[in-house]
């Protein structure tokens, strides 16, 4: 029996505003909502998730996404486990290598080996098991007794373990996630071939590690419902630029792309201004051509959006995180696009 499709949305901002949005999304029928973890650009994600847990009853709650740099794995595990307890088991931990959160501290994304180690330790903490100390100087205190390893001691067996979901774009991160995460959500755009490629990379890595090749897969997909694709592009261009840059994070495109799309991805990278991250009207958004946007995202009338999303679901995805209108987009047009998705597109995917 096929796993039911989950349709998620996202949010950011101060915690009270996010809690209100979570309640609105629950009322609209969404299955889950993610919250940004970018300390210089938004309020604390775990405070936001905790408030949302008490403002909702059904909707699932996740970071979208956290990173391995700004918090020790024990701190991350304890924070999301707290949300799991407060939400009666509705939490998920979304994590990637880090982007804006690190950039605003002067750092590039964490390297893949360190990221993989962090995921492994995070999973150990979330299972309530002990992670060996990696150095330290506790012996200086000359205690009569001291811990010999690190463990989240307050976890309760009655509360399910928090699933770890890795946001992945490149083959090395996909492979690391396949070995250690509970699920993968691809950030490679809305092209069928690119998502299929990501799934094949993950299955190959799991098979090589002696694991069942199958695991849950999802995708971040920018969807703007509007009869005029050019208007839809304008509404979603900040998110398109953000996610497209992930496919050329270090200046060279990864994954299967045409020569034209490779040039476009690398142009977005070269133009990217982190001071206008995810914003409509940014200089990176201005480089995006309509042809590329229509392939990388899903832009256009209701029937077109439904057909494109059904193609993705047919690949075996069980979760779609819908990225809507960008920061700075026309508010009335943005609200209308989101309403059309909820009222006309989402019901057709159930």
Give per-residue pLDDT as tens, 125-161: 999 999 999 889 999 999 999 999 999 999 999 999 9
Q: Taking a C-beta distance cutoff of 8 angstroms, is the pair 241, 156 a contact? A: no
Averaged confidence pLDDT in the chain:
97
| Position 1 pLDDT exceeds 90 | no
Q: How far apart are CA 253 and CA 85, in angstroms?
A: 40
Give per-residue pLDDT as tens, 167-208: 999 999 999 999 999 999 999 999 999 999 999 999 999 999
**Angle, nearest 10°, between helix axes 171-180 and 112-126?**
20
Question: pLDDT band at 17, cuts 50/70/90?
Answer: very high
Percent of the chain with pLDDT over 70: 99
Q: How far apart are CA 103 and CA 347, in angstroms?
A: 38
**Who's near 91: CB < 8 A, 6+ residues apart?**
49, 53, 60, 61, 62, 80, 81, 83, 84, 162
* H-state helical runs in 56-111: 73-86, 100-103
Q: How far apart are CA 264 and CA 256, in angstroms?
A: 13
Give per-residue pLDDT as tens, 45-99: 999 999 999 999 999 999 999 999 999 999 999 999 999 999 999 999 999 999 9
What mean pLDDT comes out for the span 230-240?
98
Of 201, 19, 167, the residue nearest 93 (C-alpha): 167
Percent of the chain with pLDDT over 90: 98
Which pLDDT does position 183 carry in this prediction? 98
Which pLDDT does position 112 carry in this prediction? 98
Q: Count CA within 13 A, CB hemisphere, residue 79.
A: 21
Q: Quote the tokens at residue 291.
A: 């042809």
What mean pLDDT comes out for the span 289-307?
98
| Position 3 pLDDT exceeds 90 | no
Give per-residue pLDDT as tens, 204-220: 999 999 999 999 999 99
Which pLDDT does position 158 carry in this prediction? 95
Q: Which fold has domain 6-131+153-222+300-349?
A: TIM Barrel (3.20.20)
Give the burial class of 22: count Cβ atoms within 10 A of its Cβ; 0-12 exposed, 13-18 middle, 19 or more buried: buried
Give per-residue pLDDT as tens, 89-120: 999 999 999 999 999 999 999 999 999 999 99
Which pLDDT does position 168 carry in this prediction? 98
| Position 266 pLDDT exceeds 90 | yes
What mean pLDDT comes out for the span 337-346?
98
């Amino acid at each position: 029996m096929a796993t039911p499709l989950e349709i998620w949305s996202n949010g950011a901002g101060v915690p009270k505003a996010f809690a209100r949005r979570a309640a609105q999304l629950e009322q609209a029928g969404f299955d889950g909502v993610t919250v940004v973890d970018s300390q210089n650009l938004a309020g604390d994600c775990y405070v936001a998730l905790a408030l949302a847990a008490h403002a909702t009853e059904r909707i699932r709650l996740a970071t979208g996404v956290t990173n391995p740099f700004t918090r020790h794995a024990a701190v991350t595990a304890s924070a999301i486990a707290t949300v799991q307890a407060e939400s009666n088991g509705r939490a998920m931990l979304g994590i990637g290598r880090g982007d804006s959160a690190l950039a605003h501290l002067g750092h590039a994304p964490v390297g893949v080996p360190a990221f993989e180690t962090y995921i492994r330790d995070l999973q150990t903490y979330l299972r309530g098991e002990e992670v060996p100390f990696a150095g330290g100087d506790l012996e200086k205190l000359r205690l009569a007794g001291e811990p010999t390893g690190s463990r989240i001691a307050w976890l309760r067996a009655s509360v399910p373990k928090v699933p770890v979901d890795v946001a992945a774009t490149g083959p090395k991160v996909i492979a690391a996630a396949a070995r250690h995460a509970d699920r993968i959500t691809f950030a490679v755009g809305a092209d069928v071939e690119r998502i299929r490629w990501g799934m094949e990379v993950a299955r190959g890595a799991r098979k090589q590690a002696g694991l069942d090749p199958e695991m849950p897969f999802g995708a971040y997909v920018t969807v703007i419902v509007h009869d005029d694709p050019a208007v839809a592009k304008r509404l979603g261009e900040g998110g398109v630029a953000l996610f497209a840059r992930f496919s050329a994070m270090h200046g060279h495109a990864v994954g299967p792309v045409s020569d034209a799309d490779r040039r476009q991805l690398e142009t977005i990278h070269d133009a990217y201004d982190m001071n206008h991250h995810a914003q409509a009207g940014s200089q990176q958004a201005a480089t995006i051509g309509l042809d590329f946007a229509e392939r990388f995202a899903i832009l256009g009338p209701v029937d077109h959006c439904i057909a494109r999303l059904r193609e993705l679901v047919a690949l075996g995805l069980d979760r779609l995180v819908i990225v809507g209108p960008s920061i700075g987009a026309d508010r009335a047009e943005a609200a209308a696009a989101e309403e059309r998705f909820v009222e006309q597109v989402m019901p057709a995917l159930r």
